[in-house]
């Protein structure tokens, strides 16, 4: 007769066998899984190494391209602006190195830089837009008529354009020296601009800005600079708005201009002025402005070509 003890021992043996089987099975599975993970990890490590090599190779090629453009740039623009005058306007986020390199190319092109005007952070600050508008309307020189638009960028361009550019028709200053000095002094005292002591009006203007604008009110700040540059262009023989990488995006000043069909018909834009090639394109675009032509140049998705004369994309 089978006793209760026999049943208990049998059941215990069954559970013990199951436990041993589970342990042995999980150990085998773990080894198989671990082996597979190690293989996959080695494959991923190889892919990372290859990608790093490709990245380094591309970086080296880019450095070579920049070096070549920096060397050839002065030769490419030589004589393009012979006996022309250019004024440089910079925004607060423009890089000084880009400005200085651009000045060198303008000189190589035969142009004379008549001075610099820096727009401060306050210039595009929407919290101070009413203050800027008030100064512009109060300091308007005799004979200068403001545009009908009421946004601060356009109004500021309506005042500063005739101060920065000579008349396209007569090649003469549009504002007397005392009136110009008074207007610049008022804007300087208000904290909106900083002008070089030797600033004189020129035939052409470059508005040099940074890249993508971020933070609160980014779109409004970019629009202020874009509309300012467009109005400056209307004041003389021509202007180019040049920005760094990211400036062609929707929250960059170049991007704002390119989204405005009316603006792009008169104002040229360059979206890679932080590179030697891009700065050479700025000079060539200024020369094109003298022929009353405008274009969207650079590497951004909304650019029409890399440079004036290049195949249109």
Contact 278, 272 (CB under 8 A): yes
pLDDT for res 71: 85
Q: How far apart are CA 143 and CA 95, in angstroms?
A: 35
pLDDT for res 168: 93
Average pLDDT (180-200) is 97
Average pLDDT (71-84) is 92
Q: What are the sequence ranges of the domains in the chain?
A: 1-77, 78-297
Higher-confidence residue of 231 and 312: namely 231
pLDDT for res 84: 97
What is the per-residue pLDDT across 207-228, written as a single tens digit (0 to 9) for each? 999 998 888 889 999 999 999 9
Average pLDDT (191-197) is 97
Contact 294, 261 (CB under 8 A): no
For the cut 70, the answer to whether the pLDDT of residue 277 exceeds it is yes
For the cut 60, the answer to whether the pLDDT of residue 21 exceeds it is no
For the cut 70, the answer to whether the pLDDT of residue 232 exceeds it is yes
For the cut 70, the answer to whether the pLDDT of residue 57 exceeds it is no
Q: Report pTM.
A: 0.81
Q: How confident is the model at residue 38 (pLDDT cuts 50, 70, 90)?
A: confident
Tally the residues of the chain.
Answer: 313
For the cut 70, the answer to whether the pLDDT of residue 51 exceeds it is no
Query: Residue holding tokens 């005007």?
Result: 117
For the cut 90, the answer to whether the pLDDT of residue 54 exceeds it is no
């Amino acid at each position: 007769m089978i006793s209760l003890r026999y049943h208990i021992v049998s059941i215990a043996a069954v559970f013990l066998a199951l436990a041993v089987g589970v342990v042995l099975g999980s150990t085998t599975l773990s080894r198989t899984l671990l082996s597979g993970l190690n293989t996959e990890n080695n494959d991923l490590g190889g892919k990372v190494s290859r990608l790093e090599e490709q990245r380094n190779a591309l970086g080296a090629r880019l450095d070579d391209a920049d070096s070549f453009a920096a060397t050839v740039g002065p030769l490419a623009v030589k004589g393009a602006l012979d006996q022309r005058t250019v004024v440089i306007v910079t925004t607060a986020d423009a890089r000084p190195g880009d400005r200085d390199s651009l000045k060198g190319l303008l000189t190589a092109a035969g142009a004379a830089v008549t001075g610099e005007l820096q727009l401060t952070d306050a210039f595009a600050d929407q919290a101070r837009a009413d203050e800027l508008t008030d100064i512009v309307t109060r300091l308007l020189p005799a004979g200068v008529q403001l545009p009908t638009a009421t946004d601060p960028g356009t109004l500021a361009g309506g005042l500063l354009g005739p101060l920065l550019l000579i008349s396209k028709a007569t090649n003469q200053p549009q504002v007397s020296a005392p009136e110009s000095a008074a207007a610049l002094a008022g804007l300087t005292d208000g904290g909106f601009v900083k002008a070089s002591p030797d600033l004189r009006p020129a035939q052409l203007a470059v508005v040099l800005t940074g890249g993508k604008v971020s933070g609160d009110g980014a779109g409004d700040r970019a629009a202020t600079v874009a509309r300012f540059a467009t109005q400056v262009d209307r004041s003389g023989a021509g202007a180019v708005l040049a920005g760094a990488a990211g400036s062609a995006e929707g929250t960059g000043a170049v991007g704002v201009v390119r989204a405005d069909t009316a603006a792009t018909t008169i104002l040229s834009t360059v979206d890679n002025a932080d590179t030697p090639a891009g700065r050479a394109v700025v000079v060539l675009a200024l020369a094109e402005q003298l022929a009353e032509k405008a274009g969207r140049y650079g590497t951004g998705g909304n650019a029409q070509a890399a440079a004036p004369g290049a195949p249109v994309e």
